[in-house]
A and B are shown apart, each in its own frame.
Chain A
């Protein structure tokens, strides 16, 4: 797939494929997936021979398999699937990785899509595969798998020692650690959760439980000096490798950076924290009042709150703007910079900022129809299916991918047309 700037950004609508056209080889078609550039729509299909393959636009892959699932486009437009032809393999643009295994799952992509990884189990041993290369060491179990944003490293929580049935005392001695590129830390913990790889690739941090009650953050195997009654997943500062994590003290949640409390524990909940891209602000989803949810910026909660939940915290690429999905009384909307969109929807997807941060858009559902909304203004057409919108590099155009009347179409629209 070409870089985004080279996609077809001509304003207008293009029919890519008529999905109603019958293919005699296809018994049924599963969920559709649109490529990032909108030029393809793909789905797992069951063939009349009772095998599985993939249909891209109106063409079937030549290969057929006992099973195909987890069809996903990488950010650079490659089409991946998990396939079984006796062994399990990851297939990229119809080319399966050479080696097959007992099971592969959980396809992961680097931020630009150039690196692809997945989880693997083989002969009751667990680990990861990155671009076809399996870890040098496998483990009795592994989970919480992660691929770094640049694709250079993989990590997971791993079980480094055998654990028999009901061996609760051995469990308390610690049999879990973090493996980075297959190499475990030297130290075990009672529990390990959510390893996170620093942008520099030099540090890996994770939540750990030291005994049944004390929680803290470990980085490259060394723990913070401070312990807490609970912690959630850590995140790295984009430039300094400082680590921020929500921590619970005295029954309330706050935020610690490198073990020091920087947000006073005053919230009923704090999670999904992240630094803005330049690292100048620390933001999170918080519960400032029991049963009410919002965004906090550097420890200050927004005034707009939601009763059901808040999710999908997002920043503009320059970090200037912040948005999230809010839910109240079973209805969803987008909140951006402490202002909720005027309309509520049956569902909202993660907000998407334009590259310059001037606009925020999201896929929404209303009465079983889907469309996209920009800055609170809905696009004029509704779809039976659609995908997240994508802005052009200058933010003036928006790519809309959707299905109307069984026809997959690709639309480029001026943002100003939607926003009025």
Chain B
């Protein structure tokens, strides 16, 4: 295993050039003084420095148990010195803190379960990211994504017309298979608004196709918006830009309210679920999502149990299932997901550990969005996941999350795992009964 390298990222390097010790001190103290309270104090003062969190972290496990990659090690290199020195830390310190908080922690919250006191280290890394944002040190590529969110209200600089055009195109494609199928746009009063993340209209349009096929086969009353607000994703949440996060979530929920839908069903994305179900709604003053949000995993389970979709065939080959952090530790959808997988696949081989103890993909929390400069380090930092996948001995891995796909795809190639990744919707589309199909 190679030593940790302090990676040169244009966003961090050029951001650091504009820093002064005074600005760092002022910013840190402003964030810690105005935006934190008893929660941070309790975490800092309760931590017994026992290190039990270490075994939870895929970075630590993959980096030959280097304690500097342990959760508590990351706190020790970031928030503790900021507190201890009352914000008087160097530019170099801040550059390193940026790399640690933004690229060496996926905010996966596995370590919370290993801490005897339940300390949420992801919260503290998020706080560091907030300081990094205020100091304009955010890595280049994820900052660009946050800028896209701010300018277009979606993650991929998709322009208003491109979104609609992508949906028209997918509807046309769908008609080749289902002659009367629709992707109903702007249908006020529909039961469901279906929302996706920016990459889907950009380069994963087949997922829109498959979701629309499922909706049509299930005979659902659904719609998709033709306005900004369609994207449920949120990289601003991961750059500490709470204000842009709030703007995104407001647009999303107000779009659903404008369409008078009863619920939002979202595609297979983990971080977006965290944003709509927990972080983004709450920053706006909503305790819970003002329009209920159903993640795809739960939605599929509902459809199956209501008899709206039926199994026509099963995947014969053994498959394994990757539990995404945000919908398993964050929502407890692991058993429902398994019921759906078992319905459509003959042999589910569990990876170990699994369910809420599953290892993270190392892509989430905005880490993969920090882009090429950090790719090698990220992939090296998830050898543990590669070993976990390899031990299953299967060639199909179902990963119901976009970021997980990106992260797992990288380690599958790096560690030559000869494994195919699939979304659960792909499997359902492939294996469900399609009475209307030509």
Chain A contact residues, CB within 8 Å of chain B: 27-28, 30-31, 67, 69-70, 102-103, 105-106, 119, 121, 126, 141, 143, 159, 165-169, 171-172, 176, 190-191, 193, 209, 212-213, 215, 229-230, 250-251, 268-269, 271, 287, 290-291, 293, 307-309, 311, 327, 330, 346-347, 349, 365
The segment from B45-53, B157-165, B359-367, B408-416 found at the interface with A is B157-165
Residue of B140, B164, B185, B246 near A103 (CB, 8 A) is B164
CB 8 Å contact bits of B179-198 with A (1 = contact, 0 = none): 01010111101000000000
In the complex, chain B residues whose CB is within 8 Å of the CB of A69 = 168, 185
Nearest neighbor of B153 in chain A, beta-carbon distance: A143
In the complex, chain B residues whose CB is within 8 Å of the CB of A290 = 285, 287
A233 to chain B, nearest CB (A): 10
A365 to B262, CA, bound (A): 11
Residue of B140, B147, B290 near A309 (CB, 8 A) is B290
Residue of A143, A165, A168, A311 near B152 (CB, 8 A) is A143
Nearest neighbor of B290 in chain A, beta-carbon distance: A309
Please give 18 more A-B residue pairs, beta carbons under 8 A apart, in addition to A70-B226, A215-B243, A251-B35.
Answer: A28-B180, A30-B182, A70-B186, A103-B165, A105-B226, A106-B227, A119-B160, A159-B151, A212-B133, A229-B243, A230-B246, A269-B285, A291-B287, A308-B286, A327-B290, A346-B262, A347-B189, A347-B262
Q: Do residues A166 and B144 form an inter-chain contact, with CB atoms below 8 A? A: yes
Q: Decide: A168 near B290, CB < 8 A? Known: A105-B226, A212-B241.
A: no
User: What are 10 pairs between A and B in contact, CB < 8 Å?
Assistant: A105-B161, A105-B164, A106-B160, A159-B151, A166-B141, A168-B147, A191-B151, A251-B35, A271-B250, A290-B285
Q: Do residues B257 and A309 form an inter-chain contact, with CB atoms below 8 A? A: yes
Q: Do residues B260 and A191 form an inter-chain contact, with CB atoms below 8 A? A: no
B292 within 8 Å of A (CB atoms): yes
CB 8 Å contact bits of B241-272 with A (1 = contact, 0 = none): 10100110010011001001010000000000
Nearest neighbor of A293 in chain B, beta-carbon distance: B285
Q: Which 3 A-B pairs have the closest CB atoms?
A: A309-B290, A291-B287, A287-B285
Most chain A CB neighbours (cut-off 10 Å) among B143, B161, B189, B241: B161
Q: Do residues B260 and A349 form an inter-chain contact, with CB atoms below 8 A? A: yes
In the complex, chain B residues whose CB is within 8 Å of the CB of A365 = 189
Q: Decide: A176 near B160, CB < 8 A? Known: A70-B186, A169-B14.
A: no
B302 within 8 Å of A (CB atoms): no
Q: Do residues A67 and B168 form an inter-chain contact, with CB atoms below 8 A? A: yes
Q: Do residues A311 and B184 form an inter-chain contact, with CB atoms below 8 A? A: no
Q: Number of A-B pairs whose CB atoms are under 8 Å?
A: 100
A349 to B182, CA, bound (A): 25
Nearest neighbor of B139 in chain A, beta-carbon distance: A168
A166 to B288, CA, bound (A): 34
A167 to B141, CA, bound (A): 9
Chain B contact residues, CB within 8 Å of chain A: 11, 14, 34-35, 133-134, 136, 140-141, 143-144, 147, 150-152, 159-161, 164-165, 168, 180, 182, 184-187, 189, 226-228, 241, 243, 246-247, 250, 253-254, 257, 260, 262, 284-288, 290-292, 371
Q: Decide: A291 near B286, CB < 8 A? Known: A67-B168, A70-B186, A191-B150.
A: yes
In the complex, chain A residues whose CB is within 8 Å of the CB of B228 = 143
Q: Decide: A311 near B257, CB < 8 A? Known: A70-B226, A269-B284, A293-B285.
A: yes
B313 to chain A, nearest CB (A): 29
Nearest neighbor of B247 in chain A, beta-carbon distance: A193
A182 to chain B, nearest CB (A): 17
Q: Do residues B159 and A141 form an inter-chain contact, with CB atoms below 8 A? A: yes
Q: Do residues B34 and A250 form an inter-chain contact, with CB atoms below 8 A? A: yes
Most chain B CB neighbours (cut-off 10 Å) among A106, A141, A165, A309: A309
Q: Do residues A168 and B144 form an inter-chain contact, with CB atoms below 8 A? A: yes
In the complex, chain B residues whose CB is within 8 Å of the CB of A349 = 260
A162 to B175, CA, bound (A): 37
In the complex, chain A residues whose CB is within 8 Å of the CB of B288 = 308
B20 to chain A, nearest CB (A): 16
A69 to B243, CA, bound (A): 35
In the complex, chain A residues whose CB is within 8 Å of the CB of B14 = 169
In the complex, chain A residues whose CB is within 8 Å of the CB of B241 = 212
Nearest neighbor of B257 in chain A, beta-carbon distance: A311
Q: Do residues A176 and B151 form an inter-chain contact, with CB atoms below 8 A? A: yes
In the complex, chain B residues whose CB is within 8 Å of the CB of A251 = 34-35
In the complex, chain B residues whose CB is within 8 Å of the CB of A176 = 151
Q: Do residues A213 and B144 form an inter-chain contact, with CB atoms below 8 A? A: no
In the complex, chain A residues whose CB is within 8 Å of the CB of B185 = 69-70
Q: Do residues A143 and B160 form an inter-chain contact, with CB atoms below 8 A? A: yes
Nearest neighbor of A231 in chain B, beta-carbon distance: B243
A308 to B284, CA, bound (A): 12
Q: Do residues A330 and B35 form an inter-chain contact, with CB atoms below 8 A? A: no
A347 to chain B, nearest CB (A): 5
In the complex, chain A residues whose CB is within 8 Å of the CB of B287 = 290-291, 307
Residue of B134, B140, B187, B253 near A213 (CB, 8 A) is B134
A111 to B187, CA, bound (A): 22
B361 to chain A, nearest CB (A): 23
A410 to B198, CA, bound (A): 43
Q: Do residues B286 and A31 form an inter-chain contact, with CB atoms below 8 A? A: no
B435 to chain A, nearest CB (A): 17
In the complex, chain B residues whose CB is within 8 Å of the CB of A268 = 285
In the complex, chain B residues whose CB is within 8 Å of the CB of A126 = 159, 161
Nearest neighbor of B182 in chain A, beta-carbon distance: A30
Q: Do residues A309 and B286 form an inter-chain contact, with CB atoms below 8 A? A: yes
Nearest neighbor of A311 in chain B, beta-carbon distance: B257
In the complex, chain A residues whose CB is within 8 Å of the CB of B286 = 291, 308-309
A165 to B371, CA, bound (A): 12
In the complex, chain B residues whose CB is within 8 Å of the CB of A159 = 151
In the complex, chain A residues whose CB is within 8 Å of the CB of B11 = 168
Nearest neighbor of B27 in chain A, beta-carbon distance: A213
In the complex, chain A residues whose CB is within 8 Å of the CB of B182 = 30
Nearest neighbor of A33 in chain B, beta-carbon distance: B188
Nearest neighbor of B284 in chain A, beta-carbon distance: A269
In the complex, chain A residues whose CB is within 8 Å of the CB of B227 = 106
In the complex, chain A residues whose CB is within 8 Å of the CB of B160 = 105-106, 119, 143
Q: Decide: A308 near B144, CB < 8 A? Known: A251-B34, A290-B285.
A: no
In the complex, chain A residues whose CB is within 8 Å of the CB of B34 = 250-251
In the complex, chain A residues whose CB is within 8 Å of the CB of B243 = 213, 215, 229-230
Q: Do residues A165 and B144 form an inter-chain contact, with CB atoms below 8 A? A: yes
A364 to B350, CA, bound (A): 48
